[in-house]
Amino acid sequence: MSGIGAAIIDFDEGWNQVQTQAINRLEGLMDSNFEEKEKLLTNKEYMEIYTTCYTMCTQRPPNNWSEKLYKKAQ
């Protein structure tokens, strides 16, 4: 995803992906007191979320969302 000619990830688009695919699922697992026995994320899903976060934090300004992503996740 990153590199020459890579598409820019808009903050809202990237945050929505991270929130729906990772944060909301983790919160649901915590709400169920970890009773669900299935894996939270597959390896592929984890790598997609990781890549999205990495790309959001390494894009050139004004599209570098590292500070905004950090503050939003607090």
Condensed to tens digits (0 to 9), the pLDDT of residues 20-43 reads 999 998 888 888 877 766 777 889
What are the backbone angles phi and psi of residue 36, rounded to the nearest 5°? -70, 130
Q: Around 41, how many Cα atoms within 13 Å sit in the side-chain half-sphere?
A: 17
Whether pLDDT at 5 is above 70 = no
Domain ranges of the chain: 11-73
Look at residue 1 in the predicted model and tell me its pLDDT.
45
What pLDDT band is residue 47 in, cutting at 50, 70 and 90? very high
Whether pLDDT at 2 is above 50 = no
Give one word for 3, left, alpha or beta, with left for phi > 0 and alpha for psi -120 to 50: left
> For the whole prediction, is pTM greater than 0.75?
yes
Residue corresponding to tokens 């991270």: 18
Look at residue 32 in the predicted model and tell me its pLDDT.
82
Whole-number Å distance between alpha carbons of 9 and 64:
9
